């Protein structure tokens, strides 16, 4: 008697989550697929293959390149996070909390606040960055430098959570392990490579995967700082899709691009969350 009733209430309990998943994830994904095999303007789509012909335009490849660049430039920040966590080991707890908090503040300002501030700092003649560095760099107008500038704006706020996360891993390593290693004649670098990094490997993989994802999904700083320019150098795939759909009005082509984007990022997503299959 227990089981039937229990199960029924069980399905009722999971219903809101599952129905919302169907409505806002599964249905849109299928709709996106069907939209890419249609053509026309909003409200009057007809079945057609024409949109796919427009997907692989020169701008698409420029966006692929820009996304790749962003991903590549994101990677050093993972390294910085690892370095900070390794550096914090064996230091007084109060100091570490201070550093963690300082690095978390930019996370709270991520998106619009950070973009507005950096836009000001990047200004070539009146910005403080050139003043401090004594340079005359065009931070947002030079196609070679703009992707780096945009990445910095996006990447600094990712450090805070990542460092919290990595610290929970290093906190599990007993201090005696390091003492033992030192007694055995193991230097600082050796104990970093032999003890700390192996423990951190899963987080580092996670961080690398999310850095790769961030590259192609970069949006707020692109919109607020460069608008995809100069010469499409900062046009991430998400920006291209937004631009095609909502500025150009070509929804089918944008849908096609987003399907390619999804397929391309699927391996990264699987890498990000691969352990779910084992753990659940």
Partner 1 sequence: MKYKVAFLLIISAICLIPLVFMVAGSVKPPLENLLIPPTLITANPTLENYQSLLKYPIGLWLLNTMIVSGGFTVLNVLFILLFAFGVVFRIGPRGRLLTLCCVAAGFLNPSLLLIPRYLLIRSMGLFNTRLGMILPFVPIVIMGAPAVLYMRTIPRYLLDAAEIDGAGPLKQFFSVIMPSVRPLAAYLGIQSVMRVYDMFLWQVLIAPAHKVKTLPVGMGIVVSGNLEERIMSFPNFSLNMASAFVTFLPMLAIFLLFRRYFKTEAFHQGVMR
Restricted to residues 41-80, the positions that interact with partner 1 (CB under 8 A) are 42, 80
Q: Which of residues 182-241 bind partner 1 (CB under 8 A)?
A: 202-203, 205-206, 217, 219-220, 223-224, 237-238, 241
Residue 145 is given by DSSP the state T
Cα 237 from Cα 260, distance rounded (Å): 10
Q: Are 84 and 100 in contact (CB under 8 A)?
A: no
What does each C-alpha distance from 243 to 96, 237, 247, 254, 262 come to in angstroms? 43, 10, 5, 8, 17
Q: Are 205 and 275 in contact (CB under 8 A)?
A: no
> How many residues bind partner 1, per CB under 8 A?
101
Q: Among 193, 231, 246, 247, which residue sits at the site for partner 1 (rule: CB under 8 A)?
A: 246
Cα 101 from Cα 81, distance rounded (Å): 14
Q: Among 161, 227, 229, 230, which residue sits at the site for partner 1 (rule: CB under 8 A)?
A: 161
Least spacing, CB of residue 240 vs partner 1, in Å: 9
Closest to partner 1 by CB, 10 vs 53, is 10
Longest dimension (CA), the chain: 79
Closest to partner 1 by CB, 4 vs 176, is 4
Q: Which of residues 70-129 bind partner 1 (CB under 8 A)?
A: 80, 83-84, 87-88, 91, 95, 98-99, 102-121, 123, 125-128
Closest to partner 1 by CB, 24 vs 193, is 24
Cα 231 from Cα 212, distance rounded (Å): 22
By the rule CB under 8 A, 247 interacts with partner 1: no
By the rule CB under 8 A, 273 interacts with partner 1: yes
């Amino acid at each position: 008697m227990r089981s039937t009733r229990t199960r029924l209430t069980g399905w009722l309990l999971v219903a809101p989550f599952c129905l919302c998943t169907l409505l806002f994830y599964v249905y849109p994904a299928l709709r996106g697929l069907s939209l890419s095999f249609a053509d026309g303007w909003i409200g009057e789509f007809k079945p057609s293959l024409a949109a796919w012909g427009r997907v692989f335009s020169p701008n698409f490849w420029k966006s692929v390149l820009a996304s790749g660049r962003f991903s590549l430039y994101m990677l050093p920040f993972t390294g910085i996070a690892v370095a900070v966590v390794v550096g914090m080991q064996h230091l007084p707890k109060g100091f570490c909390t201070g550093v963690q908090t300082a690095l978390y503040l930019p996370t709270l300002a991520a998106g619009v606040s950070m973009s507005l501030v950096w836009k000001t700092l990047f200004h070539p003649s009146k910005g403080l960055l050139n003043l401090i560095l004594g340079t005359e760099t065009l931070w947002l107008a030079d196609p070679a430098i703009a992707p780096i500038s945009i990445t910095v704006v996006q990447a600094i706020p990712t450090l805070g959570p990542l460092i919290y996360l990595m610290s929970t891993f290093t906190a599990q390593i007993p201090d005696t392990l390091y003492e033992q290693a030192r007694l055995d004649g193991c230097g600082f670098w050796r104990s970093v490579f032999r003890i700390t990094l192996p423990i951190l490997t899963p987080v580092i993989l996670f961080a690398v995967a999310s850095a790769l994802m961030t590259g192609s999904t970069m949006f707020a700083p692109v919109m607020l700082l460069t608008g995809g320019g100069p010469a499409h150098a900062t046009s991430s795939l998400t920006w291209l899709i937004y631009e095609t759909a909502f500025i150009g009005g070509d929804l089918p082509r944008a849908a096609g691009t987003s399907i390619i984007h999804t397929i391309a990022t699927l391996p990264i997503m699987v890498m990000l969350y691969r352990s779910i299959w084992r753990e659940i």
